[in-house]
Amino acid sequence: MAMAEGEGSSSALARVRVSADRLLCPICLEVFRQPATLPCGHSFCLACIERLWEQPAAGGGYSCPHCRQSFSPRPALRPNPILGGIAEELVAEAEAEAEADEEGEAGAGVTPCDVCPAARLPAARSCLLCLASYCERHLRPHRLSAAFRDHPLAPPAADVGRRKCAPHRKHLELFCRTDRTFICGLCLAAEHREHQVVSLDQEADSRRKELQKTDLEMGKQLQETLLEIGSLQQNMDSIVRTSQKVEMEITNHFSAMTESLDEALRVVIAIIGREQQAALTEVKATRAQLEQKCMELREKKLQLEILANKSDNFKLVQDSLCFSNVSQVPDVPRFKSDFDFKLARASRAAAELSSQVKECLRRAMKRRLKSTERRGCDKSAETSDLPCHTSLDSPEPKIRRSFEESLPSQSIAAVSPRHAHQVLSSRHCRCHTADF
């Protein structure tokens, strides 16, 4: 029974866990390394307490950093093997658990607490002097203890442990503007004494002002760029609208010109058709006369044959005398027409007019396009109205006379004055400069 009670008490003791914050050195805030216990009962790392008492600021006195109790003479410092063993076991256990779950409860992308031995909680703040990150639980000494009153706290930073001066192992709290690098206080005294050195807060404020100034300048540049883009868009829209407008105007001009040519073609074809009809009517009339003449000649020929076959000589002579007096053969009508000649002259006149119109258009286009290119070089954007129409004279009156001479007067008179004017007027040889 006694043995059972002993086994139960030993197992209960095995389940007792020491709080991790009770195994931290109040000076370095790390797990004890060779802990030494002072006469007042507080424990510190042996190296930490010796380094603290050897500093000139101690003034030759020896006191506990935690309770401020003074000791005279200096007490002998010896490592506490029991406390050191517990600390070593705690560190070994924390390293084993860290290997099993390196991130712990903090999760990916979150700065973990540097003190939590097992499940590393997310850090609440980072100490820029201790160069470590702490959760709310392990941050309590920095908030309550007077020993950490001067320790600056910052938002959690994953690289706060690397913000140390490599040669001196001190916090990088200064910035050398000459060398553009971070330094500590010992670096300032050793290598950067004559350099331009400022505190990290001053450099951050200066950089922040520069960044704000740069941000304002970039904002102005962005605004100007957006305005320029808007202006370019307006120019693009104006170019498209103007091009469409001018294209429509040119299309209308050419359509009107094409309609005039089509109407002139219809008038000329109508004149030629009427001339053809008149010529055919004349030919038909002449043919009718010739057919009538053929009938008369056949009848007289038959009479002559009958007269020649009579046996009564007296009657033959008597009838032949009468037949010779009344049966004179009339002249055969002849058809005379210059229709082919008139059509050939009309075709030549139309060909000459077409050649002159095409030459007029070609010259006008060449001249106006060159003029437009010169104006485009002198002025990049021109939105004024198109110039007034200018006619190009051509030797059309000669063609008109030739065409009139090629057609009969009655055909010209049969055409309406408006159509005749459209066909024969010099407007059909005009080329407006605004059309190009």
Per-residue model confidence as pLDDT tens digits over 383-400: 444 444 433 344 444 444
Token reading at 155: 């938002």
Domains of the chain: 18-100 (3.30.40.10), 254-369+388-435 (no CATH)
Residue 325 pLDDT: 52
What does each C-alpha distance from 169 to 56, 162, 193, 379 come to in angstroms?
19, 10, 19, 71
Token pair 């469409």 is at which residue?
244
| pTM listed for this prediction | 0.38
What is the number of other CB atoms lying within 10 angstroms of the CB of residue 337? Answer: 12
Strand (E) or helix (H) holding 275 = helix 200-308
Token reading at 11: 């197992």
Q: What mean pLDDT do residues 54-82 have?
A: 78
Which of 368, 415, 387, 120 lies closest to 266 in space, CA to CA?
415
Token reading at 274: 């009427």
Token reading at 117: 């031995």
Strand (E) or helix (H) holding 20 = none
Q: What is the CA radius of gyration of the chain?
A: 62
Token reading at 375: 């104006």
Q: What's the rounded Cα separation, in Å, for the pair 436 and 371?
A: 10
Q: What is the DSSP letter of 40?
A: T
Per-residue model confidence as pLDDT tens digits over 214-251: 999 999 999 999 999 999 999 999 999 999 999 999 89
Residue 79 pLDDT: 85
Residue 218 pLDDT: 93
Which of 35-44, 236-245, 308-317 bottoms out in mean pLDDT, i.e. has the lowest?
Answer: 308-317
- Identify the top-confidence range among 1-15, 24-38, 274-288: 274-288
